[in-house]
């Protein structure tokens, strides 16, 4: 695993432990990479409840409860969808905090207004939600996913500080 | 990402595509690593619907529908639990195939009869389920998780061949 990602995951585990908070993730484009990073840390089961990787829109709707209209109106890669994904996984897993991702990891899937590297992130701490648009330089699918995951953990740490 | 894990994920993607099948994962000890590997492959959204990382027993029960009695009777690290996790995520995501993991990645969590490296894996292809007990040599949490994920993908490939 990327050393910087692992270091951020260690910081997130420590911070959650200090604050007595639990975390869940709802991941589309990152495909479970954020969950895998957080759970790579020994003892993470004390602060991490679980994750939903919602690759299909059906899973976003049926499992996370993102309304079909919200997906149709805004597109899956949107502020409204990641906000609903985070709220959904927080409720589903009974967690204090959640992060959510939806974006274009590439090489396929880009559109004129959403190029590869466009990633929406939501950070939800007990219902206080912020969403963030990342416009990453396209460095290939695997690095795009890893960079997205690092951004997610950094944004969560900011909100927890 | 580990090169061997990535190569196995590529093979899994190809095999699913050839057979016209979709996949989901239900992961406890692997924490999303199997999903992250499968979705590291371009075009994986055609064959991969999603995943549930069920770290807490509550998530195994509430999200995946593993009965509390099954967890209490067998323990979370058991053949019965991974079988129910796989069936649960297959149903939840509407997928043809599912894999599930529950085990002791270490360094904590070991018991007298379940040392670090004890991992149960289920492979469910359209309701035809096999479960497998891995007894890995403890090489540290991160390698244990990676080795488990590689075994999961190998077992799935065997069943799909």
| pLDDT grade for B141, boundaries at 50, 70 and 90 | very high
Mean pLDDT of B87-94: 97
Find the residue in A nearest to B39 (Cα): A31
Around Cβ B20, how many Cβ atoms within 10 Å?
9
Q: For residue B150, give every residue at least 6 positions away whose Cβ sits within 8 Å of its Cβ, in sequence order, or none.
A: B2, B4, B5, B8
Query: Which residues does chain B have within 8 Å of residue A42's beta carbon, measured at their own beta carbons?
Result: 106-108, 141
What kind of fold does domain B3-159 have according to CATH? Maf protein (3.90.950)
Chain-centre distance of CA A2, in angstroms?
17
| pLDDT grade for B146, boundaries at 50, 70 and 90 | very high
How near does any CA of chain A get to the CA of B66, in Å?
Answer: 14
- The secondary structure of residue B39, as a DSSP letter, is T
Please indicate, yes or no, whether the overall pTM of this predicted structure exceeds 0.95. Answer: yes
Residue in A55, A59, A142 nearest the CB of B40: A142
pLDDT tens digits for range A115-156: 999 999 999 999 999 999 999 999 999 999 999 999 999 999
ipTM of the complex: 0.97
Chain A within 8 Å of B108 (Cβ-Cβ)? Answer: yes
Mean pLDDT of B31-41: 98
pLDDT tens digits for range A54-64: 999 999 999 99
Query: Which residues does chain A have within 8 Å of residue B90's beta carbon, measured at their own beta carbons?
Result: none
CA distances (Å), origin B137, targets A19, A109, A120, A148: 35, 41, 40, 33
CB contact under 8 A, B50 and A48: no
Chain B within 8 Å of A143 (Cβ-Cβ)? Answer: no
pLDDT tens digits for range A26-44: 999 999 999 999 999 999 9
Q: Give the pLDDT of residue A132.
A: 98
Task: For residue A147, say if its preceding peptide bond is cis, omega within 30 degrees of 0.
Answer: no
Mean pLDDT of A80-100: 98
Chain A within 8 Å of B39 (Cβ-Cβ)? Answer: yes
Q: Give the pLDDT of residue B158.
A: 98
């Amino acid at each position: 695993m990327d050393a910087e990602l692992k270091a951020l995951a260690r910081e997130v585990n420590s911070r959650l432990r200090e604050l007595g908070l639990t975390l869940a993730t709802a991941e589309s484009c990152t495909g479970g990479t954020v969950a895998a990073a957080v759970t790579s840390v020994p003892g993470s089961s004390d602060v991490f409840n679980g994750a939903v990787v919602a690759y299909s829109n059906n899973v976003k709707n049926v499992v996370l409860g993102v309304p079909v209209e919200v997906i149709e109106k805004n597109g899956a890669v949107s502020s409204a969808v990641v906000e609903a994904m985070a709220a959904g996984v927080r409720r589903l897993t009974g967690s204090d905090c959640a992060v959510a991702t939806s974006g274009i990891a590439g090489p396929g899937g880009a559109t004129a207004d959403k190029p590869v590297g466009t990633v929406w992130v939501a950070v939800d701490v007990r219902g206080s939600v912020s969403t963030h648009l990342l416009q990453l330089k396209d460095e290939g699918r695997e690095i795009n996913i890893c960079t997205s995951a690092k951004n997610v953990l950094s944004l969560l740490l900011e909100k927890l500080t």
